[in-house]
Amino acid sequence: MVVNVIPDKLTRRVKKYLEKRIVELKKSEKKLKRGDPFSDSTRATNNSLEEDVDEQIGHFESEIKVSFIKKQIIEFRKALSKIKIGKYGICDKCGEMIDTDRLAVRPEATVCMTCEKEGE
């Protein structure tokens, strides 16, 4: 198992970025929840079929987007935890260093490309 620690200067920047993204994602999540037709307290229950379908579709879209945001937040928090314990940039599966190019594109990545491809 190879353990090369990424320099603190870099992990501080990554940490700041991830924390900022979490705040932004939480704002987006709240906005999506407010926009969900089912959350509207003035929502009519005696809609036409077309209105019901539109509400169902709007609700489904909101739920999908909120679910995606929640998964992203979890990934970012996991990366922040790895920074905190000094294991950021180390693959969860094989213990090798994650390529820095991959981390530049996906700072929340917790597995290397080799393990990612094996998992597909």
What tens digit of pLDDT does each residue of 15-24 get?
999 999 999 9
For the chain, domain boundaries: 8-119
What tens digit of pLDDT does each residue of 54-113 get?
888 988 999 999 999 999 999 999 999 999 998 999 999 999 999 989 999 999 999 999
- In order of 16, 32, 87, 99, the CA distances from 10 in angstroms are 10, 33, 13, 14
For residue 111, give the DSSP letter. Answer: S
- d(C-alpha 66, C-alpha 48), whole Å: 27
Domain 8-119: assigned CATH number: 1.20.120.910
What tens digit of pLDDT does each residue of 24-55 get?
999 999 999 988 888 877 766 777 788 778 88
